């Protein structure tokens, strides 16, 4: 599933279309997670793009008075294709047509979505989302306040999209390892110093993934695109029974909220 770093990388890849005119949107298959409304095609005719940004895992393309919200769902991705390279792939559901190039939304499982809205921040899919982990507002005080008032364990808390967006399952295990905190620790018992370390770790792992993603930007031009998680060097995720990089004890796998969780019982307390 595309996670926050993949979405951020996608936004960076299509950023060059800012200040360009989007000539039209062609919807080949409107049956995505939610039906693509007809107003999308009707509205988007020769519209000037003011900017392209991201909120959580939503790609936001702003026009003067409307905004196109794209979510990649489970298997969606965008690729950039030259108009003259006249080919079509299975599952190319939506095409954003520019002068010489187009952005193609390909999504085999069709859990992605496209909406047109005046104010995305008030949209039902976005308005209740939590804080951006790479923003300044995400700091030790914010996390400590969350921890104090939560009955969840720390892994569940940092993955709660209503509190913090974009900390996916892999990033949760990895950041807790870096911060030396056991995933099943009650959030209430996480100290201020640990909150500080955890904020630093979450930012570090997300930035690392985005940096890795940056090196795959060229893939946006290839028909294959880039798939799933970037090729990250991970410390614990998927490393059951392998030696911890720090203490060489075996990494253990547990299940928290039905999600595989990896940690080192020796390094993490």
Which residues contribute to the site for Zn ion (CB under 5 A)? 244, 246-247, 264, 266-267
Q: Containing H/E element for 6?
A: helix 4-14
Which residues, 6 or more positions from 192, have their beta carbon under 8 angstroms from its beta carbon?
Answer: 140, 144
Token representation of residue 195: 């909150």
Q: Which residue is nearest to Zn ion (CB)?
A: 244
Least Å from the CB of residue 263 to Zn ion: 9
Question: Contact at 8 Å (CB) between 21 and 49?
Answer: yes
Any catalytic annotation for residue 57?
Answer: yes
Q: Which is nearer to Zn ion, 74 or 246 (CB)?
A: 246
Element (H, E) at 240: none
Least spacing, CB of residue 256 vs Zn ion, in Å: 19
Active site residue 2: yes
Catalytic residue among 47, 55, 57, 102: 57
Active site residue 45: no
**Catalytic option among 3, 6, 95, 101:** 3
For Zn ion, give the closer residue by CB, 70 or 244: 244
CA angle 198, 204, 205 (to 5 degrees): 95
Joined together, the tokens standing for residue 247 give 């203490």
Alpha helix locations (H) across 35-110? 38-43
Q: How far is the CB of 41 from Zn ion (least distance, A)?
A: 54
Our CB check for Zn ion shows the closer of 72 and 181 to be 181
Q: Is 196 left (phi over 0), alpha (psi -120 to 50) or beta?
A: alpha
CB of 167 vs Zn ion, minimal distance in Å? 21
- Answer yes or no: 163 catalytic: no
CA 152 to chain centre: 23
Residue identified by tokens 């060097």 is 233
* Residue among 9 and 268 whose Cβ is closer to Zn ion: 268
Catalytic machinery residues: 2-3, 57, 259
């Amino acid at each position: 599933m595309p996670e926050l770093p993949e979405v951020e990388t996608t936004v960076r890849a299509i950023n060059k279309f800012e200040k360009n005119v989007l000539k039209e949107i062609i919807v080949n298959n409107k049956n995505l997670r939610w039906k693509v409304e007809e107003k999308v095609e009707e509205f988007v005719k020769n519209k000037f793009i003011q900017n392209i940004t991201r909120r959580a895992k939503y790609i936001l393309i702003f026009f003067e008075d409307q905004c196109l919200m794209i979510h990649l769902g489970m298997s969606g991705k965008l690729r950039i294709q030259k108009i003259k390279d006249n080919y079509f792939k299975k599952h190319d559901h939506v095409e954003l047509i520019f002068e010489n190039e187009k952005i193609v939304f390909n999504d085999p499982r069709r859990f992605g979505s496209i909406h047109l809205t005046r104010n995305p921040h008030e949209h039902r899919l976005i308005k209740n989302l939590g804080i951006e982990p790479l923003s300044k507002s995400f700091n030790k005080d914010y996390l400590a306040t969350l921890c104090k008032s939560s009955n969840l364990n720390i892994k569940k808390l940092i993955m709660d999209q209503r509190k913090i967006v974009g900390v996916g399952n892999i990033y949760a295990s990895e950041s807790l390892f870096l911060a030396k905190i056991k995933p099943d620790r009650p959030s209430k018992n996480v100290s201020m110093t640990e909150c500080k370390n955890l904020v630093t770790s979450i930012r570090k792992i997300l930035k690392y993934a985005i940096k890795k993603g940056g090196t795959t930007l060229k893939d946006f031009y290839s028909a294959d695109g880039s798939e799933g998680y970037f090729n990250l060097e991970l410390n614990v995720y998927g490393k059951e029974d392998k030696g911890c990089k720090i203490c060489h004890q075996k990494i253990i796998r547990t299940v928290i909220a039905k999600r595989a969780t990896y940690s080192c019982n020796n390094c993490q307390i």
